[in-house]
């Protein structure tokens, strides 16, 4: 609910309209917060549901830009690990990551990418050779694999390949 509009008194000059109506968009704080891919994915999915429920057809004509960016961003994010995450998974992940002493940016990258090899970990963690021992990197990979859900298709394929190898050895 908004307050009743206030009418500007006639003593104001006519120029005021143009000055105030023109673009006064400005940024207050550059990086108020970093968002994980999951948060953006959830926001866009909820927004999509909301707009679909509202059902107004005039949305699509007036909001073409919003539709485009939502569609493309959701398409991109749905193919990343964030589409299989939830607030509980992220909370558990961050709690487990505490003792590894990683920076916020590094934890965010691990969360968004779900690295599976040591090479990927070294990309995301700065100076990993000096900060982490080999066992710690292994532990990190294990934590990531256990806590963050992976791509079921990829995992099924890997399991099928493993079974094929075993079958070959047996025969």
Partner 1 sequence: MFVLVEMVDTVRIPPSDFERQLNDAIAEELNKKLANKVVYNVGLCICLYDITKLEDSYIFPGDGASHTKVHFRFVVFHPFLEEVLVGKIKYCSQEGVHVTMGFFDDILIPPESLQQPTKFDEAEQVWVWEYETDEGAHDLYMDQGEEIRFRVADEVFVDTSPTGPAVATPDAPAQPGQSTAPPAEESGDKKEAPYTLIGTICEPGLGLLSWWSS
The residues that touch partner 1, with contacts defined as CB under 8 A, are: 1-3, 5-8, 10, 14, 16-17, 20-21, 23-37, 39-40, 43-44, 47, 62-63, 65-66, 68-70, 72-73, 75-76, 80, 105, 109, 112-113, 117, 119-120, 122-124, 126
Output the CA–CA distances (angstroms, integers) from residue 90 to 84, 86, 93, 144, in the order listed: 11, 6, 5, 11
For the CB of residue 39, give the shortest distance to partner 1 in the complex, in Å: 8
Cβ neighbours for 84, distance < 8 A, ≥ 6 positions apart? 148, 149, 150, 151
**How far is Cα 114 from Cα 50, in angstroms, rounded to an integer?**
30
Tell me whether residue 99 or residue 119 sits nearer to partner 1 (CB atom): 119
For the CB of residue 37, give the shortest distance to partner 1 in the complex, in Å: 6
Retrieve residue 54's tokens. Answer: 């509202």
For the CB of residue 146, give the shortest distance to partner 1 in the complex, in Å: 19
């Amino acid at each position: 609910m908004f307050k009743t509009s206030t009418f500007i008194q006639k003593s104001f000059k006519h120029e005021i309209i143009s000055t105030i109506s023109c673009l006064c968009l400005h940024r207050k704080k550059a990086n108020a917060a970093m968002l994980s891919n999951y948060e953006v994915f959830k926001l866009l999915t909820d927004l999509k549901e909301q707009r679909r429920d509202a059902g107004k057809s005039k949305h699509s004509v007036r909001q073409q830009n919003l539709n485009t960016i939502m569609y493309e961003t959701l398409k991109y994010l749905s193919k990343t690990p964030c589409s299989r995450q939830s607030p509980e998974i992220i909370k558990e992940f961050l709690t487990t990551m505490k003792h590894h002493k990683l920076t916020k940016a590094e934890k965010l990258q691990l969360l968004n990418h779900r690295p599976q090899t040591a090479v990927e970990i070294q990309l995301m963690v700065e100076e990993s050779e000096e900060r982490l021992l080999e066992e710690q990197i292994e532990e990190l990979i294990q934590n990531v694999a256990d806590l963050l859900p992976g791509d079921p298709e990829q995992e099924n394929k890997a399991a099928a390949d493993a079974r094929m190898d075993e079958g070959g050895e047996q025969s």
